[in-house]
Chain A
Amino acid sequence: GAVVSQHPSRVICKSGTSVKIECRSLDFQATTMFWYRQFPKQSLMLMATSNEGSKATYEQGVEKDKFLINHASLTLSTLTVTSAHPEDSSFYICSARDPSPPLTIYFGEGSWLTVV
C-alpha cells in the first residue's frame, strides 16, 4: 500500500486564489519531506525541503512567498500555492524520507494543479 499519501490528486482553481496540497507519511514519522514540480516529459525539480518544526529550505529560483510550506507534524507537510496563476499549473509531487537507514525516499501519488 501507499507509504506516502498526497491529496488532492487533481485540483482546478481560479487565477488569484490559493490552493493547498497535503502530503502525509503513513508508515513512518518523517522529519524531512520534499516538494517537487514536474513538467511534462521532464525530470523532477526539487522546490524545497520541508523540515518538521522549522522553516523550509527553498531551492534557488523558487519563490518562498508564493509556495508556502508548512511541516507542522511528523506525518504532515502542506504546500500552499498562493495567488495562483496559469503558469503555476503543473504536477506537484511530495516525498518523505524514512528516518531509518538507508533513508529511502518514498513519493506521494502527485497532484495535478490547473489554474484557469
Chain B
Amino acid sequence: SQKIEQNSEALNIQEGKTATLTCNYTNYSPAYLQWYRQDPGRGPVFLLLIRENEKEKRKERLKVTFDTTLKQSLFHITASQPADSATYLCALTSSGTYKYIFGTGTRLKVLA
C-alpha cells in the first residue's frame, strides 16, 4: 500500500543552524510533492511545491529537494529561528487522481 513516512520524533536544533526534515514514500509515483507548516490548533499553511521533474526548489530560507530514485524529499530551513518551530507535513499526489496523501508530520523545535 502507499505509504509516506516522516520522522515522527521531534527534531530539536539550535537557532541559526540548518534544520533538515525527511519525507520518504513507498509504492507511489508522485507527480507533485508539497510541504506544509502546521501550528498547534491551526490549519496547515502551504510552503513549497516541487514537481517530479524538478530536483530542487527554493524560497527564501527554505529549500526542498526531490529524489524520485530514492523516493525521498528533504526539506531544509537555513538560519533557523525559534519562530520556525512547528510541525511540518509533506504531501504527495499522483497525476492520475490528484488526491493528496499526507505524512504524519515532523515536529521541529528551534532552541534559542
A residues near B (Cβ < 8 Å) are: 4, 6, 32, 34, 42-44, 46, 49, 91, 93, 95, 97, 102-110, 112
Cα distance A10–B22 when bound, in Å? 33
Among residues of B, the one whose C-beta sits closest to the C-beta of A6 is B43
User: Across the interface, do A102 and B41 meet the contact criterion of CB distance under 8 Å?
Assistant: no
Per-position 1/0 for B73-112, Cβ under 8 A of A: 0000000000000000101010000111011110000000
Asked if B16 CB lies within 8 Å of chain A CBs, one says no
Provide the main secondary structure of the chain A interface.
strand
User: Across the interface, do B51 and A107 meet the contact criterion of CB distance under 8 Å?
Assistant: no
Q: A107-B45, A112-B41 are in contact. List 8 more A-B contacts (CB 8 A).
A: A6-B43, A42-B104, A44-B102, A103-B32, A104-B46, A105-B91, A107-B46, A109-B43
The 8 Å CB contact of A43, one of B32, B45, B51, B104, is B104
Q: How large is the interface on B (under 10, 10 to 19, 20 to 34, 35 or more residues)?
A: 20 to 34
Cα distance A102–B100 when bound, in Å? 12
- Which residues of B from 13 to 57 have beta carbons under 8 Å from A? 32, 34, 36, 41-46, 49, 51
CB of A60, distance to nearest CB on chain B (Å): 12
Cα distance A112–B46 when bound, in Å? 20
User: What are 13 A-B interface contacts by the 8 Å CB criterion?
Assistant: A32-B98, A44-B89, A44-B102, A46-B99, A102-B49, A103-B32, A103-B93, A104-B34, A104-B49, A105-B100, A107-B36, A107-B45, A109-B43
CB of A108, distance to nearest CB on chain B (Å): 5
**Provided the pairs A49-B99, A91-B41, A97-B98 are in contact, do residues A106 and B46 lie with their beta carbons within 8 angstroms?**
yes
